[in-house]
Structure 1
Amino acid sequence: ILHSSMSSLVQRIARQALVTFRNPPRIGEEAGRSFLENHGQLKSLMSEVSAADLKLVPPKADSSGGTSPARSYQPPVTYMHICETDHFSMGIFLLKSGTSIPLHDHPGMYGMLKVLYGKVRISCFDRLQRPSPPQAHTDSLRLSVLRSTGEFTPESGPCVLYPDRDNLHQIDAVDGPTAFMDILAPPYDPDNGRDCHYYTVLTEAEGQGAGQPGQEMWLREISQPADFWCGAESYPGPQVYL
């Protein structure tokens, strides 16, 4: 008898992710038809996944208001590990109400994000290849363009990022707690140059039209913000076998 986990939606997503990202296009290389078809199938499967598929129960609304001293020491974001291979990682991020995953990058990586409950606002940037201004005298500035800002709910399709497009993003919980399933390919690996870097937006003094898609902005690389850290939670859903 086939184990129920072997035919679960999350199992099918993991197997499709493995097929898709086993041999992705190199940076700057045009994607072939096979990769595009597999990537499309993965996006289609991710469109279907729900909190119930992963046995995830949205938290009840907090009626106390405010933040108690005990809760203030809890991580603003937690992560449920589902699986990881050399080719991709898959898990669930859970954001408490009013929290954010700060603006960060995914060097040379593909990604796909599907909201399971709640609502997130995602701002995506592309890095532009242009030298820093002379007065910057630092390597920490990155000229980027705001590609898009949008809100995503469980009814939305996945948010997709590529090595050269929508690669930097900030994720904000909107109107309550939220959770999303996340695939990154290949996984972060500092030893192979895939470390996560954090950024802050340097806005112009006049600020007119700030935050509009297509607007060029200087980003400054910063240390991981002190108010952001990620804890771990046990994954309650079907096991994945690869």
Structure 2
Amino acid sequence: MPRDNMASLIQRVARQARITFRSPAGPAFGENLHRLQQLLDEVRAEDLHLAPQGPAAAAGGAGCPRAGAVPPVSYMHICETESFSMGVFLLRGGACIPLHDHPGMNGMLKVLYGTLRIACMDALPAAAAPPPPPAPGPCLRALLRSRQHYTPASPPCLLSPHTDNLHQIDAVEGPAAFLDILAPPYDPEHGRDCHYYRLLEGPPAGAEPALPREVWLLETAPAADFWCGGEPYPGPRVCP
């Protein structure tokens, strides 16, 4: 598709997201989701007027532990409705968005520049899990399904309320950015609050263990060195 048509592409992504997620239980959801995935796969960094960089220094970023500090991660808000939110996350080289969940939510992640390593997990039913090991807080049994590298050439990473709903996202080999759609948005008043976790046990010694494999997760506060700042979105205006 010619680059001069891209100003309308992010608008069409937003409109398709509105169509897709206003009826996530409807008979056309699968078809609409596929169409949204196709549109999202076309988006490139230049379409949003982005160039490879880390987050800018931003005093007073959300949860910022000290004024004037450069956050490891920043967020550019594009748009939000009752059914979905869309924005861009910028990660400095080596930064990590810790393992977290998306309760009752669908999501799509498209890398715009850089390389991300994304670990995806499914929460397992409590009745199917053995007793957890001794731990200082609430535990969750999960299935570590995949740990893959994503680049701008990769298709979007998808999550659903039951599949790949837990993510850890690491920037490798320099800064990275991704376009993020969550449906519906986080909303603690409606039970969609973000919870953070860490692995209770490390990987077995020796070679990388085969996946998928079951793991225990400990619910925890995010790491002290993680916080998310805010930056203005420089791309085409979007009206969902």
TM-score tier (shorter):
0.7 to 0.9
The aligned counterpart of 1:28 is none
Which residue of the partner structure matches residue 79 of structure 1?
75
* Within-5 A mapping of 1:24-103: 24-25=24-25, 32=27, 34-59=28-53, 73-103=69-99
Of 157, 163, 182, 1:184 maps to 182
Cα displacement string for residues 69-113 of structure 1 (whole angstroms, at most 9, x for unaligned residues)? x99921100000000000000000000011000000000000000
Paired with 1:134 and 1:187, the residues of 2 have a C-alpha distance of 31
Distance 1:220 1:159, change over 3 A: same
In 1, Cα distance between equivalents of 2:213 and 2:194 = 24
Two-structure CA RMSD over aligned residues (Å): 2.5
Distance in 1 of aligned mates of 2:202 and 2:44: 40
Q: Is the 8 A contact 2:132 2:139 kept in 1?
A: no
Identity %: 55
Would you say 1:113 and 2:109 are equivalent positions?
A: yes
SS of aligned partner of 2:82: coil
Q: Please tell me whether the aligned partners of residues 7 and 47 of structure 2 are also in contact (alpha carbons under 8 angstroms).
A: no
Separation of aligned partners in 2, 1:108 and 1:207? 35
For 1:135 and 1:124, how far apart are their aligned partners in 2? Answer: 22
Determine if contact 1:5/1:238 at 8 Å carries over to the other structure: no
Aligned to 1:153: 151
Q: 1:8 to 1:206 in 2, by over 3 A?
A: closer
Q: Does 1:226 align with 2:192?
A: no
CA distance in 2, matches of 1:141, 1:187: 25
Distance (whole Å) between structure 2 residues aligned to residue 134 and residue 214 of structure 1: 19
Structure 1 counterpart of 2:139: 141
Number of equivalent positions: 224
Q: Which amino acid aligns with 2:10?
A: V
Q: What SS is found at the alignment partner of 1:45?
A: helix
Partners of 1:6 and 1:240 within 8 A in 2: no
Post-superposition offset of 1:158: 0.3
Rounded to whole Å, the distance in 1 between the matches of 2:219 and 2:209 is: 19
Q: Residues 206 and 13 from structure 1, CA distance in 2 versus in 1: closer, same or farther, beyond 3 angstroms? A: closer
TM norm structure 1:
0.86
Please state whether the residue corresponding to 1:41 is helix, strand or coil.
helix
What's the CA shift for 1:58?
Answer: 1.3
Question: How many angstroms apart in 1 are the aligned matches of 2:229 and 2:129?
Answer: 37
Shift of 1:124: 0.1
Q: Displacement, 1:23?
A: 1.3
Aligned partner letter, 1:236: P
Which position in structure 2 is the counterpart of 1:22? 22
Deviations 1:158-187 (A, max 9, x none): 000000000001000010000000000000
What residue ranges of structure 1 are gaps of 5+ in the alignment?
A: 26-30, 61-69
Q: By how many angstroms is 1:203 displaced? A: 1.4
Q: 1:211 to 1:198 in 2, by over 3 A?
A: farther
1:123-145 CA-partner distances (Å, limit 9, x unpaired): 00001113461664876110001
Give, in whole Å, the separation in 2 of the partners of 1:134 and 1:45. Answer: 42
Q: CA deviation at 1:6?
A: 10
